[in-house]
Amino acid sequence: MVGTPVLFIAIPLLAAFLIPLLGFVWKESVRILPGLVLLYLLYLAVNLMGQVAHSGTIVEVIAGWAPPWGINLVFSPLTGLLTTLMILMGFIIWIYSYRFKNIDFREAVKYFILLLMMITGSVGIVLTGDIFNQFVFIEITSISAYALTAFYKGRDSAEASFKYLIIGSLSSMFLLLAIVLIYSQLGTLNMADIADKAHLMKPGFKILALIFFITGLGIEAEIFPLNGWTPDAYAQAPGPVGAAFSGIVVKAGVYAMIRVIFTLFDVSGTHQFLIIIGMITLIIAEMAAVKQDRLKRMLAYSSIGQMGLVIVAFGIGTEEGVFAALFLMLNHAIIKSLLFLSGSYLVYNSTEKYIHETDGLAKHLPITSFLFALGAIAIVGMPPFAGFWSKWSILSAAAHSNMILVIVLILSVSIIELVYYFRVVNRIYFFPKQKEVEPKRPTINALIAMSILGILILVIGFYPDSVTGYLHSASQSLLEKGKYIQDVLSTGQLFIQ
């Protein structure tokens, strides 16, 4: 026994409270501590994944009260996979930003606290088995995200952050309303218990609560009407934070939404709704991405589009569809983070971050350009790389469910995607360099971080079997609703002293 899932929350919190104190003693420790914490958690996550594969879902009881009375954490194949992914991404982003704000120590303290808490909040959203606890973690994640979006002191970052904050707090109000409706009907807040008793709810309550949940969680999941904040926030946030948004926060949002739809309420027609809303998100985002002339906004719209695709794949609802969706989530986290991290070096010294400012940078920043190109090729789904396998499995899942329209739309959107990514790669490699652009060489730790992501893309591309086993058990664990309820509600006797 190496540890329990609660350490994923407790240790980073302890570290975050400790960081300001350590800063008084030894300044470098502020940068080192988050990395040590994330490294330990990565070790723990890998260990627990092995344990889960052996002996099934771990349900951790908190404060000694078995569910549904106490709060519990569920480390199932699905949540375990997402936790491991998030911690891994967090660790890589930590390596990348190790020297961030090198001169100004007081800003570095805040940056590392907020980044660590954003990762912890996302992990909490995934691990918790209680809707109100999830709400608290969503708030932790979003407050850190607001502050990180406004981290640079330029003109526009505060605007982006304020926009995000208004949409975010309206959404969390809806979440709270949904919790009120559920509590007033069932008298419980535990997800498994709600899923078990959901048939006791009056129909009006059920539909309204579902609508409120989708509105409340849709903002983090970036689905169509609620993603107005996304491009601004991604474009204004520091580079590593953009990577953390697309690699960590969005994944948590999608997970929360999927958990509500798949486990809490089985309302018929929700899956079709998911497909429709996902398609709309996908098409609008990709159309918008083509029109962008700024690199980070383009990446942000592309990120929204990919999330739409994930929602579509979840909407297909078969085991194959869920598998494809999880595979795409995994690939998207890795590839889009690589794109954000390398892209922010390509436009490092520019204020407006236009795409044409990357012209001809391949000669000056060979490794960064190569990694960006690798990411671009991988995300559009070129055969030997990671993105291909996930797109292929979505298409085959749609084909097996006879959704011809979905296939046609996905393929045509892929062509759009191909166009705008290759436009950028073409400019980087084959255009003459603009004179006023001063390329910034990546620091050694940034190079290490980006190379790890590049290697991961190659590994998943050439040996997809290395992850598919985990993905299959994860998708099964999402679809087996009865097993989830039973696992949670049968845990543990009451510990009373």
Partner 1 sequence: MEFKLFDLSIVEYAFFITAVLIILIGLYGALVKKTLIKIVIGLSVLDAGINLLLISVGYVKSGTAPIFSPALIKDMPLTLENIKKLSEGMVDPVPQALVLTAIVIGFGVTAVALSLVIRLYRHHHTLNIDEIKNLKW
Partner 2 sequence: MKKILVLSLLAVFGVYLLEVLFKIDFGHQFFLHGVKDFYLTTSPDKMGVANVVTAIVVNFRGFDTLGEVTVLFLATTAMSSILYKGRHQLGERAVLFSSSRIVMTGSKLLFPAIILLGAYVFIHGHLTPGGGFQGGVIIATGFLLMLLSYEDYKVSHVALSLVESLAGITFASVGLLGFLNGGTFLQNFLPTGGLNNLISGGVIPIIYIAVGFKVGAELTGLIYTALNEKD
Interface positions with partner 1 (CB under 8 A): 132, 136, 139, 143, 146-147, 150, 155-156, 158-163, 165-166, 169-170, 172-173, 176-177, 179-180, 183-184, 187, 189, 228, 232
**225 binds partner 2 per the rule CB under 8 A:** no
Residue of 48, 80, 189 whose CA lies nearest to 129: 189
Least CB distance to partner 2 at residue 52 (A): 19
Check residue 72 and report its DSSP letter: E
Nearer to partner 2, 144 or 350 (CB): 144
Estimate to the nearest angstrom the gap between the alpha carbon of 119 and the chain centroid: 10
Residues contacting partner 2: total by CB under 8 A: 63
**292 binds partner 2 per the rule CB under 8 A:** no
- Pattern 18-47, partner 2, x by CB under 8 A: x-xx--x-----------------------
Find all residues with CB under 8 Å of 233, minimum gap 6, and list them: 145, 149, 160, 161, 163, 164, 245, 300
Which of partner 2, partner 1, none does 63 bind, CB closer than 5 to 8 A by kind? partner 2
d(Cα 445, Cα 6) in Å, to the nearest integer?
Answer: 30
**124 binds partner 2 per the rule CB under 8 A:** yes
**68 binds partner 2 per the rule CB under 8 A:** yes
Position 275, amino acid: I
**8 binds partner 2 per the rule CB under 8 A:** no
Nearer to partner 2, 107 or 319 (CB): 107
What backbone phi and psi angles, to 5 degrees, belong to 151? -70, -45
DSSP H/E element including 440: none
Q: Is 460 exposed, middle or buried (0-12, 13-18, 19+ CB in 10 A)?
A: buried
Residue for token digits 């409706």?
181
Which of partner 2, partner 1, none does 170 bind, CB closer than 5 to 8 A by kind? partner 1
3-class DSSP state of 61 = strand
3-class DSSP state of 24 = helix
Tokens of 121: 């909040």
Nearer to partner 1, 233 or 467 (CB): 233
Contact 92, 14 (CB under 8 A): no
**14 binds partner 2 per the rule CB under 8 A:** yes
**155 binds partner 2 per the rule CB under 8 A:** no
**204 binds partner 2 per the rule CB under 8 A:** yes
Nearer to partner 2, 135 or 388 (CB): 135
Question: Does residue 67 have a cis bond before it (omega within 30 degrees)?
Answer: no
Which of partner 1, partner 2, none does 166 bind, CB closer than 5 to 8 A by kind? partner 1
Residue for token digits 């958690």?
41
Tokens of 330: 């995994």
Residues near partner 2, by CB under 8 A: 4, 6, 9-10, 13-14, 16-18, 20-21, 24, 60-65, 68-71, 104, 106-107, 110-111, 113-114, 117, 124, 132-133, 136-137, 139-140, 143-144, 146-147, 150-151, 153, 158, 161, 177, 181, 184-190, 200, 202, 204-205, 208, 495-497
